[in-house]
Structure 1
Amino acid sequence: MKNCFLILCLLSSWGAAAQSLPATPQRPVTDTYFGRAVVDNYRWLEDTKSPEVLAWFKAQGDYTKQTLDRLPGRDSLLSAFVRYDRLRPARYSEIRKRGNRYFYRKTLPAEKVGKLYLREGATGAETLLFDPVAYNPAKTYSVTAFTPSNSGQQLVVGLQEGGAELSTLRIMTVATKALLPESIVAVSGGGVDWLPTDTGFLYTPNNSTDPKDPLGNLNTKARLHRLGTPASADPELFSRAKNPAFPIRPDEYPFIYFSDDHTQVYAGLGSVDNRQYVWVATPADLGKPTIPWQPLAVPTDSVYSYLKLGAQLYLYSVKGAPKGRILVTDAAHPKVATATVLLPEGSRNITGIVSSKDYLFVTLNDGINDHIRQYDPRSRQWADVPLPFSGTAYVQPLDAPRSNAVLLGITSWKQPATLYDYNPDSKKLAVSNFEVKAEYPGVADLVVEEVEVPSHDGAMVPLSLIYRKGLQKNGQAICFMDGYGAYGISAVPAFSTRYLAMLNQGVVIAETHPRGGSEKGQKWYRAGYQTTKPNTWKDFIACGDYLVKNGYTSPSHLIGMGTSAGGILIGRAITERPDLFAAAISNVSCSNMLRQENTPNGPVNVPEFGSVKDPVQCQALYEMDAFQHVKPGTKYPAVMCVGGMNDPRVIVWQPGKLAAALQAATTSGKPVLMQVNYDNGHFTEDKAVTFRNFANMYAFALWQAGHPNFQPATVAVK
């Protein structure tokens, strides 16, 4: 008689995967940096044109998809994203006013990307101007940016394909919705600035439509396009070649734009260094063979932004004032060195300035929440802009040179973004005609807690916690901890329906504010910069230790995530403290910093991270390099690396090499996956792609952190 017995095999979902990953060959290449020999086993993965490399990424992506498709909670998480998105009937953004015309992007719940619309008056009838989906049904397009002309009669539309970020510019005649014949390709971001006469516009294109072209970002040129002429004939106005006497590096982006009142034109250099290099001329000078640019500011002036209002030039500078101050000088004869201090440095960080026709608006931040002040040059009086609640706020002038029409937006960790019309004369707020309210489930039960955590050197690191009421601090909750800490960018409060989907499943959200951001001013930024960069991931680790010590979670339930430059943070956190995390997400991540300069976007980032050509900075880059700190025989947490094949900012082999190294090194038995996005770059507006991408990342992490809703079923074998 045949023996019949039931064997209950409690298969982990990792062991139950349908296929195994193919082996990744190690082909060592040794580089010597100032006497240090560094071995790179996966240099061959950098050749993204190689059929072998493309096959490797495809195999990795296919394996990841098979694994994630088995997670029971992934699709329900994706459904929650879609369901919450549909609670707001329409989303309005990027509202611009020209005369009585309002131009804006509107996205309906059923739409993957937004369309461009026009209203005659804020409450007028709505007219569809441009649908990127219908532009070319054979391809996937979205609108990167759009800019109406000064009269509102023309519209420049920047189109991106497949999340590639480099845009093609098309020009529309608004009255007929007809597109002019010319197309301008490879414009980063898609932004332009119209001539006062509306006969053309200023723009700066890249040199190539290929986001992987190493020369695409170097020695770019600011150009002038005249409507109805071929882009190939567009003259260059400002560039390293055109202005050889100017200190323009190959990696800096020359740009030109007008003051709001079109009485001045500015030339500047875009880079990751926030300190501006600026020259000024008159619009009439643009027609001269050689533009007589006059210096306005140099990096040692530490001017972060500037604007002309009336006869005065207002400058936001951090020179001698790490939290910022506002200076004012005569716009016709600007002298930063002798400018008057209009608003001295205070206890709050200045984060930006904008203006309407008659008012200057200054945004200040107390480390977490924004405050806005307005200044009237006519009366020389300051006043506070009333905010309905604490959080992240911004002022958006709708038609700065011609009116005081202003929108005010505000959001917080648990309050959805709300849009108001603001009257700076009366200081009154009214809910905007473009505001569409939505009620989201579970928001009323959310608790926000702001704490400070001692780091390795005693520095107190801000930590924002969001969780549902009734949290038992017994270490059993899953905690999702995110961090960035680069370029002086602060982690500001913002409501997220994606986070809400996890919060409503009992997950604790922890938003860290490590050094490298500007939560505590420029000193906080510079304390996580180049040679001080280790503070960034050590602050992140300190936050994780705090959460464990205080019972919010435990190492078996802690998830860490870092995106883009935050890849340094998460990569070095798991290589320095692999015991602290159950899972980590390394999303479009800077993971191999010693090789960052060899990427298309690498040279422009040298001011932020350093160069391998400098011995001190090279050592700092080695410390930042997560790939080089992967050690064989280590029990690493589960890790999901994510890369976009169309990503122009962080090339796909950066997270790819980290995934390969971790797969070969880890002895924990936990999965290391490489998700490859072929319809995405660094990010995309396409909601279907974005929702899928984040559902995959979150589901992976929640599975590995032990959330019961994401565990594959056990299998009974007879």
Structure 2
Amino acid sequence: MKKLFYLFLLTISTMSIGQTMKNTGLTTPVVQVKPKEMKIHDHARVDNYYWLNERENAEVINYLKAENTYLDAVMAPVKPFQEQLFQEMKGRIKEKDESVPVKDGNYFYYAKFIEGGEYPLYCRKKGDLTAPEEILLDGNKLGKGKAYFNVGGYEISDNEEIMAYGVDTISRRNYTVRFKDLKTGKLFKDQIKNTEGGSYAWAADNKTLFYIVRDQQTLLGYQVWRHVLGTDVKTDVLIYEEKDNQYYMGLYRMKSKKYIAIGCDHNGVASEYHLLEASNPTGEFKIFSPRERGHEYNIEHFQDKFYVRTNLNNALNFKLMEVKEDHSSDKSQWKELIAHRKDVYLEGIEVFKNHLVVQEKNQGLTQIRIINQTTKAEHYLNFGEPAYDANIGANPDFETAVLRYGYTSLTTPSSTFDYNMNTKAKELKKQQTVLGGFDKNNYVSERVFVSVRDGAKVPVSIVYRKGTNLDGTAPLLQYAYGSYGSSTDATFSSVRLSLLDRGFVYAIAHIRGGQEMGREWYDHGKMFNKKNSFYDFIDCSEFLIKNKYCSPTKLFALGGSAGGLLMGAIINIKPELYRGVVAAVPFVDVVTTMLDETIPLTTGEFEEWGNPKNKDAYEYMLSYSPYDNIEKKAYPNMLVTTGLHDSQVQYFEPAKWVAKLRTMKTDNNLLLMHVNMEAGHGGASGRFASLKEVAMEYAFIIDLAEMIK
């Protein structure tokens, strides 16, 4: 690193932390120490910065602003380069663009961007694609003048004349539902606040909407209500209330349109569905199969039966069954269609009149399997690359023989295909346009397996530009997530080219805690196995160094949210491995957060991390919690990001973490924090505004790699 690091060394050598930097006038942010003792299980912890959770406290806000001021001042020498990166990233994006239309009912629906627009326009055409365009929502007009704006899904009534959609302008994921008359273009007076975005379902009468309300303390969806268009929201009827706050809720209209479904999921422990025929909106929801600890399932309706994806009878990787509508709750009537397989994870299905499409994970890669419902003949799609991601797309039509699916890889931009399941012919409908002379043939992707310390083999997806020296001199950015069973697939990123074209190698470590290698992969990276995620990442880092994918002095790490916890853990365990770390919206104060059931999302995650009210869970979580394990030692250069309105990882976790690191670390490395004062967990909402934050992170990394020219 040159400019930025030199500035920091120059100033740090003349002063101690907290004093004015004599050569620049900079002051490192100072946080007042206010000790708070917390006792449980005959063990006491002292948190000097607990008080930073006082969101309305002016002293807290001033501290967050001071961190931003400090970051801006320290990074001032690389500000021109950061702007160059932003323009570079923006320049690869086709500003005037639109999605592939999807036919649903009598209309083709799609979203598009106009030149200079931050937000999409949601549109449709009736009958065929030559018909006049109808703009349903103009995101640029709705978001104009707002610091944050997001449309949280929309639903069209059966008569195709009314649109219900949710809008969030704070970034707390509290969506206000509005209704639009698509014949006149006018909005109804009805407004429903604090709803779960995207969880809306119309009844068949074109006037009744079901929606989920969020508890404003926990920010969990916990109630389903029924609203009749044109009536006072105060007269809405409570349909269902989830009493167990460890369950997450969803609400949707099934593909067959016959049923409205309420889904309740206990984070890898149990599932339950409640169904109501859409033609009977004032009727009672009925349970499909009652919740049982250890039984997870999903359902899809077709004709007179349900398909059931289930882990019944120890089917760890799930199997597929079917049952007649009238016998759903009687498991003895469930008929097995696809048996459980130890080495293949059944992710999901898509049902058509003549075909059943199955999405699976095998050896960390997605496979799409086509089964003819009549002949039972089957085949798999061939994707032909070593590391990629494929997924079943939007397929609302039962009658068609054409499957819409998406495909991307580390070198192939996001692509949408239509595949004829009878003839096996495929048609590329659209591929993401990457401007600026991009040629996929200039890049190489690899997939390797790393044998980690306990013998597990962890897949790593790697990409770099042709000509990059793999002789142990290249800089490398390593990414991972590794929680909640969320698989991190090998997808394309146009912004990543700003690293690759400068000689960086990029690697995704598919560590345990994700679900790339099946359900067991997830189970071995959660609860009392959580440390496997951290050691997997570190062992992959050492493999990449040993095999000369990177320089041992130019290895960087990136992770966000639960992946930010990963970052916090690896720098406590082996800080000397990494030249720099970017921790985005990091979940780092694990024990304190999981002990506080008033914090949003806490109770729903006991089965992911453990409940620290139990002594064994407390002791295990305490042994790795990044905040609790900060020591007096040298740490890597670090950039930490957060959002004041974050509803998933509250801003005070990274703020406390940074404050404590400042007092404990013994090095002269950078420690910077960026607080987006107007956004939440996902950062800025506009498609270009969000690039500014990525450009900041990349400028930080590239400068540390001493590659700014």
Listed one character per residue, the Cα deviations across residues 392-448 of structure 1 (whole Å, up to 9, x for unaligned) are 11222442456556422111111001112233344432232x656446525322111
SS at match of 1:39: strand
User: Residue 389 and residue 437 in structure 1: after superposition, are their counterparts in 2 closer, same or farther (change >3 A)?
Assistant: farther
Per the alignment, residue 663 of structure 1 pairs with: 662
Per the alignment, residue 708 of structure 2 pairs with: 708
Shift of 1:646: 1.6
Per the alignment, residue 131 of structure 1 pairs with: 138
Question: Quick one: which of 55, 59, 64 aligns to 1:57?
Answer: 64
Listed one character per residue, the Cα deviations across residues 246-266 of structure 1 (whole Å, up to 9, x for unaligned) are xx4134344444433243343
Per the alignment, residue 180 of structure 2 pairs with: 172
8 Å CA contact 2:249–2:265 kept in 1: the answer is yes
User: Residue 286 and residue 651 in structure 1: after superposition, are their counterparts in 2 closer, same or farther (change >3 A)?
Assistant: same
Q: Determine if the alignment matches structure 1 residue 686 to structure 2 residue 686.
A: yes
Shift of 1:611: 1.4
Listed one character per residue, the Cα deviations across residues 466-486 of structure 1 (whole Å, up to 9, x for unaligned) are 111223233221110111000
Shift of 1:55: 1.0
Shift of 1:506: 0.8
Q: How many residues align?
A: 683
SS at match of 2:557: strand
Shift of 1:588: 0.7
Q: When the two structures are superposed, what TM-score results if normalisation uses the length of structure 1?
A: 0.89
User: Residue 690 and residue 304 in structure 1: after superposition, are their counterparts in 2 closer, same or farther (change >3 A)?
Assistant: farther
User: Residue 456 and residue 338 in structure 1: after superposition, are their counterparts in 2 closer, same or farther (change >3 A)?
Assistant: farther
Per the alignment, residue 245 of structure 1 pairs with: none
Per the alignment, residue 699 of structure 1 pairs with: 699
Listed one character per residue, the Cα deviations across residues 286-317 of structure 1 (whole Å, up to 9, x for unaligned) are 524xx362341534463342211222211222
Q: Determine if the alignment matches structure 1 residue 287 to structure 2 residue 282.
A: yes
Shift of 1:530: 0.8
8 Å CA contact 1:316–1:326 kept in 2: the answer is yes
Q: Determine if the alignment matches structure 1 residue 194 to structure 2 residue 202.
A: yes
8 Å CA contact 2:322–2:335 kept in 1: the answer is yes
Correspondence list, 1:152-163, <5 A: 152-163=160-171
Q: Determine if the alignment matches structure 1 residue 313 to structure 2 residue 323.
A: no
Per the alignment, residue 344 of structure 2 pairs with: 348
User: Residue 330 and residue 161 in structure 1: after superposition, are their counterparts in 2 closer, same or farther (change >3 A)?
Assistant: same
Cα distance in structure 2, aligned partners of 1:62 and 1:128: 42
Q: Determine if the alignment matches structure 1 residue 143 to structure 2 residue 159.
A: no
Cα distance in structure 2, aligned partners of 1:358 and 1:234: 41
Per the alignment, residue 254 of structure 2 pairs with: 259
Q: Determine if the alignment matches structure 1 residue 636 to structure 2 residue 631.
A: no
User: Residue 225 and residue 350 in structure 1: after superposition, are their counterparts in 2 closer, same or farther (change >3 A)?
Assistant: same
Cα distance in structure 2, aligned partners of 1:26 and 1:467: 46
Per the alignment, residue 244 of structure 1 pairs with: none
2:229 partner amino acid? L
Cα distance in structure 2, aligned partners of 1:521 and 1:426: 31
Q: Determine if the alignment matches structure 1 residue 462 to structure 2 residue 464.
A: no
Per the alignment, residue 234 of structure 2 pairs with: 232
Correspondence list, 1:463-612, <5 A: 463-597=460-594, 598=596, 599-612=599-612
SS at match of 1:352: strand
Listed one character per residue, the Cα deviations across residues 128-148 of structure 1 (whole Å, up to 9, x for unaligned) are 221123126332423221222
Question: Quick one: which of 321, 330, 345 aligns to 1:327?
Answer: 321
Runs of 5+ consecutive residues of structure 2 not aligned to the other structure: 12-23
Shift of 1:602: 1.8
Cα distance in structure 2, aligned partners of 1:18 and 1:311: 74
Shift of 1:508: 0.7
Q: When the two structures are superposed, what TM-score results if normalisation uses the length of structure 2?
A: 0.91
Shift of 1:190: 3.4
Which is worse superposed, 20-29 or 502-511?
Answer: 20-29
Cα distance in structure 2, aligned partners of 1:629 and 1:10: 26
Which is worse superposed, 231-240 or 319-328?
Answer: 319-328
Structure 1 ranges of 4+ moved more than 6 A: none
Cα distance in structure 2, aligned partners of 1:616 and 1:164: 33
Shift of 1:358: 4.4
8 Å CA contact 1:399–1:405 kept in 2: the answer is no
Cα distance in structure 2, aligned partners of 1:274 and 1:314: 20
User: Residue 263 and residue 144 in structure 1: after superposition, are their counterparts in 2 closer, same or farther (change >3 A)?
Assistant: closer
8 Å CA contact 1:315–1:328 kept in 2: the answer is yes
Which is worse superposed, 388-397 or 72-81?
Answer: 388-397
Cα distance in structure 1, aligned partners of 2:210 and 2:419: 31
User: Residue 616 and residue 408 in structure 1: after superposition, are their counterparts in 2 closer, same or farther (change >3 A)?
Assistant: same
8 Å CA contact 2:364–2:517 kept in 1: the answer is no
Percent identical among aligned pairs is 22
8 Å CA contact 1:314–1:328 kept in 2: the answer is yes
Runs of 5+ consecutive residues of structure 1 not aligned to the other structure: 1-7, 209-213, 241-247, 710-718
Listed one character per residue, the Cα deviations across residues 566-612 of structure 1 (whole Å, up to 9, x for unaligned) are 11211100111111111111101101001223322222222211112
Listed one character per residue, the Cα deviations across residues 601-640 of structure 1 (whole Å, up to 9, x for unaligned) are 22222221111211122223213410111112x1100111
8 Å CA contact 1:33–1:612 kept in 2: the answer is no
Cα distance in structure 2, aligned partners of 1:9 and 1:553: 22
8 Å CA contact 1:397–1:405 kept in 2: the answer is no
1:592 partner amino acid? D
8 Å CA contact 1:475–1:552 kept in 2: the answer is yes
Cα distance in structure 2, aligned partners of 1:590 and 1:177: 43
Question: Quick one: which of 366, 370, 374 aligns to 2:366?
Answer: 370
Cα distance in structure 1, aligned partners of 2:160 and 2:137: 15
2:66 partner amino acid? A
SS at match of 1:649: coil
8 Å CA contact 1:309–1:358 kept in 2: the answer is no
SS at match of 2:378: strand
Per the alignment, residue 21 of structure 2 pairs with: none
Per the alignment, residue 715 of structure 1 pairs with: none
Shift of 1:19: 1.1
8 Å CA contact 2:269–2:607 kept in 1: the answer is no
Per the alignment, residue 82 of structure 1 pairs with: 90
Shift of 1:96: 4.5
User: Residue 341 and residue 284 in structure 1: after superposition, are their counterparts in 2 closer, same or farther (change >3 A)?
Assistant: same
Cα distance in structure 2, aligned partners of 1:364 and 1:262: 26
